Amino acid sequence: MANIRASSTARTGLDTTVADAPPAIVFDRVGVVYGRGRKAAWALVDFNLRVAAGETVALLGPSGSGKSTALNALAGFVRPSTGAVRLAGRDVTDLSPARRGIGVVLQSYALFPHMRVADNVAFGLTSHRVPRGEIASRVTEALDMVGMSHFGTRLPRELSGGQQQRVAIARALAIRPRVLLLDEPLAALDAQLRQSMLTELQRLKESLPDTAMLYVTHDQGEALALADRIVVMNDARLMDVGTAKDLWARPPTSFTAAFLGGANLVPCTVGRVIGTSALVSVAHQTLGAEAPQPAVGKVDWAPGSAALLCIRPHTIKVVGLGDRDALRARVNASVWRGASTRLVVSVHGLPDQLLDVDVPGAATYAVGTEIGLRFPEPAGVLVATT
């Protein structure tokens, strides 16, 4: 035993007890079916994910894509039809929710309306066998973490929505969970409050360096602000997983390209490829493109093959019609968004393709105006068509 430990430590340079620790969260081929017989529908299919202690992973996807189902399968609110969920190496698939030791925060807060804030937060501590004498200090500690220590004697209805959500978070934290699950915790708040709660959640995350967090949201801004890694969900499946930066810079699928950050996906034909640079043709024009190294098992960028060129709206410049290399375009719509204006344009020579272009400030282009466009160099990144 001692020998194995010594050699393993030498190999990794890490304490083996840390290096070999099982992930805080494991989804192992989890599938969930709702309903029976002809009404049976898979809400989650072959879902695999590992989350390390201290890591925050966002499940990001449109409504109905299976995010809450995945979270509920881990929390124990939904029984997986296939596969298993493990916490710190222990299979908890058959364990009741209360015995999993997970902190859960839901969009609806789910506070007990007749119980005062402190009692709401204390709920769960007794079932987690926290000694009676310790409960008051644990409640204070949890309320402190969310800045609500002065509200212990209030009833939930005497609090604003944001304050109620803080209490719900405090209640989840009171059991000092190793795993914290949050399902659209900010979705019921107005935009300004959402922004300040997001900043507080970032701070909370910093103060819980050993806690694994799974954060369900349909809002990419929340995922970008909080997550170490993002899981993009679509249609009951995990589409892509990676750091926000990687998914944004090199989207593995057109779905992720469009869902994360918004993208123009222009059909193109791949020409010459050298390393990670390619030339592509779009509407008889040759453009430079970034050609990311394909992941193992994925298609290569073969010359002559069809692909999508992902061009981010803010990288396209509006130039004079007479400028060299200017593409001729026509403004179809113009929407001011405060810091920028979103133009929707049709480009001469690109039939059936509307492009989104974001120009800084309040740009005033009447619908029908002809403008020049210039793509950046490289114009964008290649994304596989399927």
Binding site for Mg ion (CB under 5 A): 68
Q: Which of 49, 56, 61, 234 binds ligand ADP (CB under 6 A)?
A: 61
211 binds ligand ADP (CB under 6 A): no
Q: How far is the CB of 171 from ligand ADP (least distance, A)?
A: 21
Binding residue count for ligand ADP, defined by CB under 6 A = 11
Q: How far is the CB of 236 from Mg ion (least distance, A)?
A: 12
Strand intervals (E) in the chain? 25-34, 41-51, 56-60, 82-87, 90-91, 102-106, 179-183, 212-217, 229-234, 237-242, 264-274, 277-282, 285-290, 306-311, 317-319, 327-336, 340-347, 354-360, 370-374, 380-383
Nearer to ligand ADP, 42 or 151 (CB): 42
Q: Give the x/- contact pattern for ligand ADP in 78-107, rule: CB under 6 A.
A: ------------------------------
d(CA 337, CA 350): 26
Query: How are beta strands 212-217 and 179-183 bridged, if at all?
Result: parallel
Q: Are the beta carbons of 253 and 384 closer than 8 angstroms?
A: yes
Q: Which of 25, 26, 57, 67 binds ligand ADP (CB under 6 A)?
A: 67
Q: Are the beta carbons of 259 and 67 closer than 8 angstroms?
A: no
**Amino acid at site 20:** D
120 binds ligand ADP (CB under 6 A): no
Q: Are the beta carbons of 185 and 107 closer than 8 angstroms?
A: yes
Nearer to Mg ion, 68 or 341 (CB): 68
Nearer to ligand ADP, 35 or 89 (CB): 35
34 binds, among ligand ADP, Mg ion, none (CB under 5 to 8 A by kind): ligand ADP
Nearer to ligand ADP, 173 or 236 (CB): 236
Which residues contact ligand ADP (rule: CB under 6 A)?
34-35, 43, 61, 63-69
